Amino acid sequence: MRQKKISALELSRALGQEFPPTREQIAVIEADLSPLLVVAGAGSGKTETMAARVVYLIANGWVLPEDVLGLTFTRKAASQLLQRIRSRLAALAASGLISADLREHLLATEPQVWTYHAFGGRLISEFGTLVGVEPTARILSATGSWQLAGSVVRRWDQDLRTDLTPDRVTERLLNLSGVLADHLRTPAELEKLTLELAAAIEDSRPTRRQTSAIHSKLVSLHTRLTNRSGILPLVEAFRQAKRAAGVLDFGDQMQLAAELVREQSRVGAELRHRHKVVLLDEYQDTGHSQREILTFLFGSKSGAMGHPVTAVGDPCQSIYSWRGASASNLPRFITDFPQKDGADAGRASLLTSFRNPSDILTIANSISAPIRSAPVAVDVLTPRLGASRGQVRYGLFATSLDENTWVADTIAHEWRTAQARSAPPPTTAVLFRRRSAMAGIADLLTERGIPVEITGLAGLLNEPEIIDLVSTLQVLVEPAAGGAAIRILTGARWRLGLADLAALQRRARQLSQRPATGRLVAKVSSNNGDDDVDGSHRLSAVRSALTHAQRGESFESAGLVDAISDPGPGAEFSTEGFDRIRRLGSELQWLRRRLAQPLTDVVADIEHTIGLDIEAPLAGTKGRTHLDAFAQVVADFSGQASPTGSGASGSSLTAAVDLLEFLRVAADAENGLAPGEVEQSDSAVQLMTVHAAKGLEWQLVAVPQLAESIFPGVKGLSWLSDDGQLPPSIRGDREDLPQLDLSHCLDQGEICDAVEEHKAAWKAAQLTEERRLLYVALTRSEGTLVFSSHWWSYGATKYRGPSAFFGELADAASAVAVPDEWADRPLPDEANPLLRKPRSALWPADPLGGRRAAVETAASMVRTAVALRKAEAAAPTRFAKPPALSEAPETTQAKTSAAEGPPIRVLPSEEAGVAREGDDPRGWKRDVDALIAEKKALEIKQFTVELPSTVSVSALVALARDPARLAQNIRRPLPVAPSVRARRGTAFHQWLERYYAGEALLDLAELPGADFRDTLVENDIESLRRSFLTSPWADRVPQDQEVPFAMMVGDLPVRGRIDAVFSDADGGWTVVDWKTGQQPDSAGAAAAAVQLAAYRLAWAQICGCDVEEVRAAFHYVPSGITVSPTELLDEAGLFRLVEAGTSSLTTPERPEIGAQGAGVHNGEELE
């Protein structure tokens, strides 16, 4: 043990920390430089402790900042850890505790903190050539992988031996490819095992009572094996497609990195020399490939034991086995990373919760009791000194509707109580085991006026406006999208009645009764040449079309889509219904012609055509939130340049089909397609799965639906029920999993017994993970915990009842609270009360609902006003123009031409102040008055314009630069013309974001929307990239990038997005905006500085620091020049700008022109 010069307590005081470290934390902070396992409970301050350990080691001179490597799972966690270390090191530099030399060193260097995947990518980038991998290989995102895998499936021309649909095949293909990489296995190894298991079933003799070749209890398993075997050739084809395109996915990164460190021992020697201290966060969530990489680099397989590796994790929170995590990695750490003498690694604990109140911890500890003894012994989590008791509310209800209503009422009560105190509402989350349960509570909360946010892509796809948008896209590209067609037809816009819908269905049957002469013949004809004398080409085309036909394709549904375009004679329909169908058909026909455009433009066209761009803003400042979020999903998806020609680089039709398949799987996936990173919201109740809630915390947490077969779930992922999972015998963590052994089985009956025994063992293992999942849910609460269950659910003829988990929770909660309600068990002959009161609704739905009477009254008033104005405009008028010189005044006629200007109405003489006819016999005064009126009417007037309810930072810059132009753009918005400059800027920002994320540098082909025919953009980006890599910013790591914000300047909401934020050695910050153009002149620079002023103020509000601690700069990439304005507006200055600018927002406009409607704003990001 080295002699410490500065203790952890002394360091804490010197750095001015409000709370000193606890005894547990001190033990970790001051631990020796040797392998150490830290078991850190939920909310125990592990991030602060890890940061304090780094600072402690540096302050005592045992390591330098650049010697430290930190690894974690998400970019958010990596950013938080790095920022915590940076701020502590900055305080250390200013403390006077260290030497001048070390102080100077701290200003120039910092630790490296990466995600596990980014670290694997760095290994490939730096050392990949040692194993024949190009360091410049492009990394596919999740959507890029989906597109490439989808193209492999679509182009497959061999028998798949599976009954799965193409989108499900793509899903299984990606799952299998991922788990094979995670466990460092090949498709050939899995194929061999799968065939052996299938053969064991097929070759075993049947039982005496068995009437089929395969026992009925083995049919499902045999089908899974067949499906898995059928998909494996696609997995190999997918690997070959990636290799041919020169791309890798995240699984490939880790697999290749593992092969690299296994085969090249010098890589480990280099990294041990470079990283003298290693921190591994959330180690319980690492997978087999990550464990292999780390043990070969820093552990027992490196040949150099005792390297200072500190792993932090909680065995009670290991919940990601479904995506490759191995709960056994944590207990194995002590032997994987032994001391120098071969002894097990040291161990410490952080078991004081700084998050949870005492009563909530009591309940959480009761749930974790069965899992605290294995695989790593863990003591109970204890509350901090002075922790409150918190609040626990729970109940058991007769029906799921009663339960949902109670949960919504409970949350609404807490929000309204806070509102009555003029306090912000409590941050709130409702955590679910099943996504399908979210809609019921979401609707009830919305009815009570509580804002709701369903997190994740699946939640977004449940929003009504997104359903309408996606349904329209389906109808455009999928002839069989009957369900989507019905939604559109019976939705709020078209509201087709039952009689008309039935008539349209009859027309659909007429069209669908001839599939071989309809769509199929069209396809055959398009593939048939005039020289097809013998019909061979035609026969081949028919066979091809039939081979690729979807199993279960509904020709009736397909015909329904066709019937909208071809409804036939109108006699079968009502007059209004027929008109609506024809108008819808015209819209769809126009949209189909737009399918040649980029997918993002197609989606924007749909949004505009079906009126969402008009309706959404009516919902207030957040009206476009869901549409903008979906637009980003589409942009991300289409921005992946597929090497195969689909996606961004292929047709929009193909890209749209890919997108719809991707969205279908995302909507159905219980755990989501990817872990994702969710941010806590303080303005809405967040609804999400428990998996998505890991690492977050809220003041109020509700966990409903703790009912039998719901939570814990009975359909957990396993290789027996999911074709995309590996059998346990070839997993990297097989020693800790139940195994299926058929070697002793003599017939299929014994195989059935062995399978059932294996299922039971696997179910027990799944139940353990479900318990960990519940523990994670409970420990998210900072103040109030709500949990509940029910007896009856919709559609059930037998009651479900509360789960065993609910019973355990209720027993523990009874010591600290009484239930709000406790419904008795139903009687044996009792019927489901929900069946006696079936759910009912008006169909087609009335879009106005209870507001119809008020809206119709208002509409009637508007119509009346319009009619009066038209009548007034049609009243007799007199017109005049100046008399020609050749004309005598008395012969001048009251006439005008439309080409000379709009007609001017002259008021009756009494109203206009013109002398009566008798006082002006020649009409001179009348004509003069008419001329004056005409001149006034044609004068260009100044119209005052109001700012939109929400503006972007770009609008503030425009307000400073040219208020008149801004006013004109607001009053008469025009579309923005596409430009090379805009494409260049977008492409460079995308590349820069990936660069800082630690992923391999991208080739030009990978940039979103990349098109090699656009040589101007291609050449510019290459030049910008070279210029940036020579700048000082290339060697710095941003604290965050692409940071969205919304803030108030006075009463005006302002939104924007900060390109990048860097932390400075003195503890301050620098916000940077990347510019791909040239520097403006002095006047333009002054206006542009408003952008930096807004960014500086926004970041100060985000991080809670003084605005003077935030610097701001433009970096002009082409010239490599960084400009840091010294005089930037503060909050008061921005407020004065808005006040002064608003008063001068006028625009010259003719009155008849000013009545035009608004379109897309001309170049400014306004809402």
Q: 1166 in helix, strand or coil?
A: strand
Q: How many CA atoms lie within 13 A of 1016 on its CB side?
A: 7
CA 524 to chain centre: 41
Distance CA 1106, CA 22 (A): 29
The encoded tokens of residue 8 equal: 């952890």
Count H helices and E strands in the chain, helices first.
42, 25
Element (H, E) at 366: helix 358-368
Distance CA 575, CA 583 (A): 12
638 labelled ligand-binding:
no
1142 Cβ contact partners less than 8 Å away, ≥ 6 residues apart: 946, 947
Distance CA 301, CA 295 (A): 5
Distance CA 1027, CA 1023 (A): 6
654 labelled ligand-binding:
no
523 labelled ligand-binding:
no
Going by the DSSP 8-state scheme, the letter that residue 641 receives in this structure is B
Buried b / exposed e over 2-25, threshold 16 CB at 10 Å, is: eeeebbbeebbebbeeeeebbebb
Find the length of the chain: 1167
What is the signed CA dihedral for 455, 461, 465, 471, rounded to 10 degrees?
A: 180
47 labelled ligand-binding:
yes
CA angle 869, 872, 875 (to 5 degrees): 155
42 labelled ligand-binding:
yes
> What is the DSSP code string of 824-858?
PPPPTTPPPHHHHS-----SSPPSSGGGHHHHHHH
CB 284 within 8 A of CB 314: yes
Residue type, 398: A
Q: 1075 in helix, strand or coil?
A: strand
471 labelled ligand-binding:
no
CB 74 within 8 A of CB 30: no
Q: Which has the closest alpha carbon to 789: 779, 776, 800, 781?
A: 800
Phi, psi dihedrals of residue 781, rounded to the nearest 5°: -85, 130
Distance CA 573, CA 952 (A): 49
The encoded tokens of residue 1006 equal: 């990978």
The encoded tokens of residue 528 equal: 């048939």
76 labelled ligand-binding:
no
46 labelled ligand-binding:
yes
Cα distances (Å, whole numbers) of residue 260 to 242, 301, 719, 997, 1164 = 19, 13, 29, 22, 50
CB 956 within 8 A of CB 1048: no
Q: Which has the closest alpha carbon to 199: 178, 173, 229?
A: 229
Distance CA 1026, CA 1028 (A): 6
CB 133 within 8 A of CB 1001: no
Q: 289 in helix, strand or coil?
A: helix
Element (H, E) at 938: helix 924-938
Phi, psi dihedrals of residue 820, rounded to the nearest 5°: -70, -35
The encoded tokens of residue 601 equal: 């433009």
- Binding site for ATP, by residue number, is 40-47
Annotated binding site: 40-47
